Amino acid sequence: TRQIVLASRPQGAPTADNFRLETVELPQLADGQVLVRNVVMSVDPYMRGRMNDVKSYVAPFEIDAPLDGGAVGEVIASRSDDVAVGQYVLHGLGWREHAVLPAKSARVVDTDAAPASTYLGVLGLTGLTAYVGLTAVAGMREGDTVFVSGAAGAVGQAAGQIAKALGAGRVVGSAGSADKVARVVELGYDAAFSYRDGPVAEGLASVAPDGIDVYFDNVGGEHLEAAIGALSTFGRVAMCGAISQYNSTEPPAAPRNLALAIGKGLTLRGFVVGQYPELVAEYHSRAPQWLAEGRLVADETFRDGLDAAPQAFMDLLDGANTGKMLLRL
Ligand code: NDP
C-alpha cells in the first residue's frame, strides 16, 4: 500500500520535496484491529504547525514517518467483534491508502445518512470547531454582530451559517477573492469583503460600520488587529487559528493595538476543539437539523488520488479551496 511521509521540514511555505510517496507492506492484523481502505481524507491547515519541530498541543510529525489526519474508509478485514467488514469508519490515519488500527480508535459512520466526506466536514471536527468557537468560547448572543475571517474556508463557512442559525443579528466575513465573497453571501453571510482589495480595517468598516460584538478568528495578524479596532465594549474573540502566520519565519507584526482590549474590556480566548468534548453530543443533536433545513450548506473541494495530497495541502494554504479541502482515494 502507499503512504505519504514527511521527507523534510518546510522552511516557510511547504514545497513538493518536503513530501515523499512510499510503498510499504501492510502489517498482519492483530486481535482487535481492523484493516481500512481509505476513501476520503481531510486536508487541514493545522498540519503545517506539526511539520515544524516545535512542541504544541499535538506532537510534531516525524521525518520519514507517515503523515496522519482525519479519514473515512471501508473496513475490508476485521479482527474485532465491534466492527464488521463492509462498515465505514472515521479514524485518524489518513495520508495512506490503507490503515491498520484498533477498532476502538475508529468510529462507525452511516454513509447512507450522509456522504463519507460530511463526517470530516460539517458533521465532523470542522463543524464542531465552528460551533464550539461561537458558543463556549465567544459566548455569542442573539443579536450580536459577528465577524468571521477565512469565511469561505471549511470552518468559516460553517461558522457564519451557524452564527445565523443561533440568532446572530448580522454576520460578516472576509475571504481572499471576489468569487469567495459572493459565495459566502449566497450561503447566508449578510456581507463580506476580500482582504486582498485593501486594508482589512477598511474592508471590515465597509461591511460592519457600527462595529462588531464577536470575532471568530481563523487568520490572526492584520485581521485580528482590525477586529480589535472594531469590537464593541465587552466584545469577544474566539481565537481559532492564525493561518496568515503558519508559513511565517518571522514573528507577526500585528496586532499592534492589543492595549485597546483594556479599555474595551475585551475577551480574547483561544481554543482547540478537542478541549470541549462535552459539546460533541450537543452539536450532533443540532447540526443534522440545520443541514436538513438547508441552513448549513458546506462546499467541498475534492482532489483525487494519494499522489495529489501534498499539492492539495500546499494549495489549501494558498486558498485554492472553497469550503472543505478533501482528497478522494
Ligand atoms: P480553510 O478551509 O479555511 O483553508 C484555509 C484558508 O485560509 C484558505 O482557503 C485561504 O483562503 C485562507 N488563507 C490562507 N492564507 C491566508 C492569509 N494569509 N490570510 C487570510 N486567509 C488566508 O481551513 P479550515 O477551515 O480547516 O481552518 C480554518 C482555520 O481554523 C485555520 O486557521 C485552522 O488552523 C483553524 N482550525 C482550528 C481548530 C481548533 O480547534 N482551534 C480546528 C480546525 C481548524 P483565502 O482565499 O480566503 O485566503
CA atoms of 38 and 133, how far apart (whole Å): 29
CA atoms of 121 and 131, how far apart (whole Å): 12
**What pLDDT is stored for residue 57 in this prediction?**
85
Q: Where in the chain is the domain with CATH 3.40.50.720?
A: 125-275
Ligand 1 in reach of 271 Cβ (< 6 A): yes
CA dihedral of residues 226, 228, 234, 236 (deg, nearest 10): 80
Q: Which three cell numbers stand for residue 233?
A: 465594549
Q: Which three cell numbers stand for residue 116?
A: 463519507
Phi and psi at residue 104, to the nearest 5°:
-70, -10
Q: What is the ipTM of this complex?
A: 0.99
* CATH code of the region 2-121+298-328: 3.90.180.10
For the stretch 202-214, pLDDT in tens is 999 999 999 999 9
CA atoms of 137 and 140, how far apart (whole Å): 8
Claim: this prediction has a pTM higher than 0.95: yes
For the stretch 292-311, pLDDT in tens is 999 999 999 999 999 999 99
Ligand 1 in reach of 173 Cβ (< 6 A): no
Ligand 1 in reach of 69 Cβ (< 6 A): no
For the stretch 115-128, pLDDT in tens is 999 999 999 999 99
CA atoms of 133 and 128, how far apart (whole Å): 8
Give me the sign of the Cα torsion angle 49, 244, 217, 44: negative
Q: Where in the chain is the domain with CATH 3.90.180.10?
A: 2-121+298-328
| Interior angle at CA 317, CA 315 and CA 321, nearest 5 | 55
How many percent of the chain have pLDDT more than 90? 99
Ligand 1 in reach of 174 Cβ (< 6 A): no
Helix (H, G, I), strand (E, B) or coil at 60: coil
Q: For ligand 1, what atom is nearest to the CA of residue 270?
A: 41
**What pLDDT is stored for residue 260 in this prediction?**
98
CATH topology of domain 125-275: Rossmann fold (3.40.50)
